[in-house]
Chains A and B, each alone.
Chain A
Amino acid sequence: MGAAPTSDSTFVVILGASEYPHDLKLSNKRFLSSATAIKEYFESPNGQQLASDHILWLFDSPEAPSILDARIRDFLRLERNGQRPRDVIVYYVGHGFFDEQKAYFLALQSLRPDAPDSSYRFRALQLAVKTEARHARKYLILDACFSGAANHELMGVNAETQLVLNEVAEGSKDDLANSGTALLCAASREDTAVAPESAAFTMFSGALLEVLGRGADEPLSLRQVRDLTYDVIRTRYPNDAVRPEVHSPDQRQGDVAGIPLFRSSEPVASGGPGTSARAEAIHDAMNPATFLSNSAIHCVVVSPELAPNEDEVPLVEHVRRAWEHSSSKISAEANRYRQGRRLPPVPAPDSPDPAFVLAELSVQRAFQSTDSLISAIQALCKAELAVFDLTDFQPGVLILLGIRAVARRGVTVSSLGGKFTIGAQLAIPFNLQLLNLAAHSQEQEREGNGLRPWDLLGDKIANGYGELADLPDYLDLPAYDAVRQLGVEASSYRPIRYDEKVLMLCPFSPEYTARNWKRFLAAELPGKLMQRIQKAGRVVAGPPRLERLLELKTPRLVAQTLFESIRLIDMCIIDWTGLRANVMFEAGVRLATNPLAAVHIIEAGGAKPGTTPIALSHVTAMMKVFKPIAYQCKVGDTVPYEEMVAQFEANLKHGRPNFAYTAVGTALDRRSQPAAPSLVDELTRSANLLVGDDEESTGVSPVLFHEVNKELVLEAYEAAAERRLAAWLFLTRRYSPEDIASDPQWLKHFALLSVQVRRWARKQGRKDVIDEVTQAQLAVNGAKAGGEVTREPIQR
């Protein structure tokens, strides 16, 4: 098939239209962004590296087909530095249609309904290329939607595609030796398949760009590009996937579609205008560079081991699709949350900055080493949004979930794949029974519009942000507050020493209780501990209490007590036997909240690699990182108990916080997670929870029992008014009029609170307060005078 393609001898024609002035309903901005991004790929130093005079950009040209035809011929006829085209690529994106004779036409800007000659006949394009580049290999890439024009009523999409293939075959009949023609064609009849609401590109071009942007050691052939592109399409659009076709009609001189042509040395920068393109790449959550953007929504998807089968779509793809479908809703709610926290807004879709950075955290990589686990923990702390795939409740995923639960009050969505659908019965670990789970199984995809995984995820993410904005105690995972709010006295935070109590995180099955717990652990360990304590010269009345969750002596809610104990009790033993989901989640909480970490133990043979119900490589890796002490349920085997005590004492002596605790504590995003929320925000939110600032209009009271207890309602009114007064007083005393005037968020609070406080003061007959508010308004408006004054102060 001749010499290999080079950038000197490759020429590209880009055709199509995004605006159809004579038939506006056909206009589609994704066609333009697709064409622009393809051009960027061909020009990019990381892509095809073509000089600009090797690319003919005819996209959105208003010229007549005959003029365009002449321009293509001129372009291909000219030599550049003595070089004639050896490889010619024609890329078309837009609508296409067939006339009465079933001839295929490309709908350019000149298109007029009922005037086929206003469109470019595909055969004419082929002829122009073939005539002017007779010795070249020709690659036609058609990203066409057939929905735009007439005469396809009797044909299916496949039949339509076949007609185009026939034209290509016809046109390439007399190709010269060493040349040839290949077609990569992605045609769809449905506009909906062209692209979802917020995607930057068409379905096909978006996937093609991802493939070309991934980077590859060797150039890819058209056929390889087709296969990879289809993979991307299938995962992104499982219901509407349109399979691209490759056709290489005359292969006497070899298969043009098999020639390595498309280069990509490393990921192509942006992939065109708009930020959705950036969301289309999946980043590495463990690479700190993933979190460099100051304003993007960083979303980490935690993936379990064992890839889903071929037909299943990984959760990360559903999350990507959720963003594509619901980006405006998610951005708006995220911005409401961010505004309250004084964080930068999510970049708008036309911003050069990414709005959504999607990163994957695979459980296998997370546990490869201590360092990689630290990176994984840092990612979980930095991500404003995390989505966990809890399919099969894999041990490593649950440890990471436990860490996330106490590390960040962000938005965390948990989802199940496998066969799970929303509402189906499922045995859920005790600690996670209150989770509001999503589902991303194939069965859930079939539940229909509004219930598909990406619909569920998009809604949960957007609503999560909204609730995070409004509710000071928002939680989507257990434990966050339970490990923080232990009491109001310092003694409530006193660590519980190991001569007093030892916490055991372990299974509760009757078998375990009978075999491991009663006969060995509970029988052996307290005595061993007492011996050590006495050896150290301390006087104790008896052995320390070894407590499981069941033995905690309090009537308080189990979960609350458990998490508090996990934080406070110095010596914690985690039994990995059976790799129980509850235990793994609690292990994550412990590692993140107690500087002394834990003593990990396991019954010999209880969960060794290869003996677990599913042999998971990350479990093997976890064993290497945490090195659980193996014990046997055998009389006389006391050495492991000595080891348990010794390991704890080593941790204690070592004195430095464990790596997970340190990683969480130092990676906390304090911008979004300060030690406490802004006082004004806290007070106004608290007031609005008592009496909504729209209650007078809606006539609905948020107070429970409001119909039957008027005194309660009155108290709520008074409490809300006092909180608003307190917020106003704090704002005006803590900040100068200039501070307030120069900060949009303070100004907004100040404006509303001023009116609310003055209305209250009038009812109370507090002229002094009325005067003070008015004076403050005058001062703030005076401070604004240098800037734009939009309203006069309210004079009283």
Chain B
Amino acid sequence: MSPFNADSEINELTSNTRLRKEEAKEFRDDGDIVAAIDTLLGAVATLDGSPLAKDLTLVEVPSPQQKKLAFQLADCLGMLGGNYRRLGELTHALAAFVRGQEIEESEKLEVPSSYNLVNAITLPLEMKTQTPTQLQPALNRAVAAIKRQVDHEERRNDRWAWADLAECQLLLGDLDDAKDSYARMCELGNADTIVSVVAVLRRLKVALESEVQASEALRQAIAWLEVA
């Protein structure tokens, strides 16, 4: 057996994961959510099985290869959570998001994503296990973290970072800030980005029907994005 080469391992894993993610997206586009989930579970298992994944969030100084793996793993977990949500399996979805959140929140792993972080906070709203008021501290932390990423770090040109930031600001009632963030997202993204974001907001609006203030903020944001 050849000695372990971390660089070769991550190159192989990255290439394999990209293929699996593309396949999962295709299943999703085709409405076959179960197959998408199976594909992503396979990808996550492959990543988890790598020696690079051992104690990933506990490693004191992660290697560049571990950081790359962390990005792929968080991305797969986010997609997995999203597909579980489509299937209505919200508990599974939350579990995937929470695991992804743990990776995204590790400063050492430097994962340029906040998708899991935001969804792990907001999914309980859809599950009606939490209210926006209860989630305020978590949303404030998320805003601070994402603002740091877009202000000072490499995500200033990442449309999803601005979308995540806007969503949190919206749920905190900061409609003006949210609009500014959505505006930046629109600059960076395309029509598909807006469609995807509006779908999320609609879902939240349904879940927060009884929360008058939040529901109104969501309505306004949806209206604004639809004409953007």
A residues contacting B by CB (< 8 A) are 328-329, 331-333, 335-336, 348-351, 693-694, 696-701, 706-708, 710, 713-714, 717, 748, 751-752, 755-756, 758-759, 762, 794, 796
Contacts and interface: CB of A to CB of B under 8 A. Distances in A.
B160 interface: yes
A332 B8 contact: yes
B159 interface: yes
Interface stretch (B20-28, B85-93, B117-125, B217-225): B20-28
Given A707-B187, A710-B190, A751-B19, 13 more contacts: A328-B6, A332-B10, A348-B2, A350-B1, A350-B3, A699-B155, A699-B188, A699-B189, A707-B188, A752-B18, A755-B23, A762-B26, A794-B26
B151 interface: no
B29 interface: yes
Contact of A759 (B7, B10, B26): B26
A755 B21 CA distance: 10
A794 B36 CA distance: 11
A349 B3 contact: yes
B110 interface: no
B30 A328 contact: no
Contacts of B190: 710, 713-714, 717
Contacts of B161: 699
Contacts of B6: 328, 332
B75 interface: yes
B1, B2, B8 — most chain A CB neighbours (10 Å): B8
Nearest to A345: B8
| Chain A interface, >50% SS class | helix
Give 7 nearest A-B pairs by CB, closest first.
A332-B7, A348-B2, A699-B160, A699-B158, A755-B22, A332-B8, A699-B159
A648 to B, nearest CB: 52
Contact of B8 (A335, A751, A794, A796): A335
| Chain B interface, >50% SS class | helix
For this complex, into which size category does the number of interface residues on chain B fall? 20 to 34
A697 B21 contact: yes
Contacts of A331: 5, 7-8
A786 to B, nearest CB: 22
Contacts of B21: 697
B11 interface: yes
A350 B22 CA distance: 35
Contacts of B189: 699
A329 B68 CA distance: 14
Interface in B1-53: 1-3, 5-8, 10-11, 15, 18-19, 21-23, 25-27, 29-30
Contacts of A349: 2-3, 5
B5, B7, B27 — most chain A CB neighbours (10 Å): B7
Contact of A348 (B5, B22, B158): B5
Contacts of A752: 18-19, 22
A700 B22 contact: no
A644 to B, nearest CB: 54
Contact of A758 (B7, B26, B157): B26
Interface of B: 1-3, 5-8, 10-11, 15, 18-19, 21-23, 25-27, 29-30, 75, 112-113, 155, 157-161, 187-190
Nearest to A327: B5
A350 B1 CA distance: 8
Contact of A755 (B3, B15, B19, B113): B19
12 contacts: A331-B8, A332-B7, A350-B2, A699-B160, A700-B158, A713-B190, A755-B22, A755-B25, A755-B26, A762-B29, A794-B23, A794-B26
B41 to A, nearest CB: 14
Contacts of B18: 693-694, 752
A701 B19 CA distance: 19
Given A331-B5, A348-B2, A348-B5, A759 B188 contact: no
Contact of B3 (A348, A698, A751, A759): A348
Contacts of B11: 332, 335-336
Given A699-B158, A714-B190, A333 B19 contact: no
B17 to A, nearest CB: 9
A713 B25 CA distance: 21
Contacts of B29: 759, 762
Contacts of B3: 348-350
Contacts of B188: 699, 701, 706-707
Nearest to A329: B7
A234 to B, nearest CB: 29
Contacts of A762: 26, 29-30
B7 A756 contact: no
B63 to A, nearest CB: 10
Given A332-B7, A710-B190, A762-B30, A700 B25 contact: no
A707 B157 contact: yes
Nearest to A348: B2
Nearest to A763: B29
Nearest to A748: B15
Contacts of A696: 25
B150 to A, nearest CB: 11
Contacts of B7: 328-329, 331-333
A714 B187 CA distance: 13
B188 to A, nearest CB: 6
A328, A332, A699 — most chain B CB neighbours (10 Å): A699
A714 B190 CA distance: 9
A693 B10 CA distance: 17
A696 B190 CA distance: 11
A707 B188 CA distance: 5
B191 to A, nearest CB: 9
B33 to A, nearest CB: 15
A478 to B, nearest CB: 30
Contacts of A694: 18
A328 B5 contact: yes
Contacts of B22: 693, 752, 755-756, 759
Contact of B75 (A350, A697, A708): A697
Nearest to B8: A332
Nearest to A708: B187
A563 B189 CA distance: 42
B5 A332 contact: yes
B36 to A, nearest CB: 11
A759 B6 CA distance: 32
B157 A700 contact: yes
Nearest to B78: A697
Contacts of B113: 697
A352 to B, nearest CB: 12
A204 to B, nearest CB: 23
Contacts of A707: 157, 187-188
Contacts of A748: 15, 19
A271 to B, nearest CB: 18
